[in-house]
Amino acid sequence: ATPAATMVGTTIGAQNGVLFKGGDILERAKDVDTVVFDKTGTLTEGEMELTDVVVFDGDGQPVTDGGDPAADGGQLSARDRLSEDDVLRLAANAESGSEHPLARAIVEGAEDRGLDVTGPEDFENVPGHGIRATVGGSEVLVGNRKLLRDNDIDPTPAAETMERLENEGKTAMLIAVDGELVGVVADADTVKETAKDAVNALQERNVDVMMITGDNERTARAVAKQVGIDPANVRAEVLPEDKSDAVESIQAEGRQAMMVGDGVNDAPALAVAHVGTAIGSGTDVAIEAADVTLMRDDPLDVVKAIRISDATLQKIK
């Protein structure tokens, strides 16, 4: 492209809230044949809300009546009588050590119910899996199936509950206290209003649309379905450090991939992608690693970025 055409394209982009970091990027964007979206904060709002608390009794059976909070005074020895509030209070106190959006939703949900959240005595992050904390002298684990299995706790009694919540597109987390499964909490996120239209518009341009996430397979597929992404194009349970490898393996098939993401986790993947696109409200690390920034946080601007590149380069041919 001539410098003049590139400047026009870059300016049109900027006027539309699509910031290209340079003329070479503007030229590259038109060749994108695959767009890989991060899920949380990119296709979804990234604002989690606590939606469910399920209590399991001593035999690992879900308790439907929620138990009687007054009966046990929160004592863990009365495991079969832990109430919904007890379970939520333990999870929230444990999670108050974490900055993760999943954790913040649990803490806020507990506070909204008037529960006391004072924090853990001890706290440890288990990246991609959950957290481990000490609350009231007990060891509390909150996280996914892998977290429990790695701690020799069988998550299968919660299988049905987990699957039901995940099929609704929620992120369900297991809670174990002193080595025993005591409950499940779930957080839900909302899909961005224009996510489906963006996916649709890309597919109409014959661009393959994929999704990549650290979240579990079932939740990921439920969200993919809501926005029109083929379940076969979903890469779930990808650990933070493996996201860039996933993008590289997609590109190893000869594809020109655009990665779209918002998180610190996404930065390496944004850097290796043919075009890395960051959500403007995302973390600075992601914006720095990216080639394009979408100032309006609107998935439809992904289509706009490709269109502007296309139009700019066609004119000067």
Kindly list the residues in this chain that would bind ligand ADP in the complex (CB under 6 A): 40, 95, 98, 100, 102-103, 128-131, 142-144, 171, 173, 213-215, 240, 265
Tell me which of 24, 31, 33, 38 is the catalytic residue. Answer: 38
CA–CA dist 169, 191 (Å, integer) = 10
Residue keyed to tokens 């610190």: 264
Secondary structure class of 52 (helix, strand, coil): strand
Cα-Cα-Cα-Cα torsion 250, 252, 255, 260, nearest 10 degrees, comes to: 40
User: What residues pair up with 131 in beta bridges, in sequence order?
Assistant: 125, 142
Q: Compute how many other C-beta atoms are within 10 angstroms of the C-beta atom of residue 228.
A: 15
Structure tokens at 261: 């993401």
Q: Which residue is nearest to Mg ion (CB)?
A: 41
Structure tokens at 65: 């009546």
Least Å from the CB of residue 263 to Mg ion: 4
Residue keyed to tokens 């899920």: 39
* 244 interface partner picked from Mg ion, ligand ADP, none, CB below 5 to 8 A per type: none
**Residues 47, 52, 58, CA angle at the centre, nearest 5°?**
140
Least Å from the CB of residue 254 to Mg ion: 27
Minimum CB distance to ligand ADP smaller for 29 or for 102? 102
Window 245 to 304, contacts with Mg ion (CB under 5 A):
262-263
Least Å from the CB of residue 213 to Mg ion: 8
Least Å from the CB of residue 146 to ligand ADP: 8
Window 152 to 211, contacts with Mg ion (CB under 5 A):
none
Whether 38 sits among the annotated catalytic residues: the reply is yes
Binding flag, residue 38, Mg ion (CB under 5 A): yes
Q: Annotated active-site positions, please?
A: 38
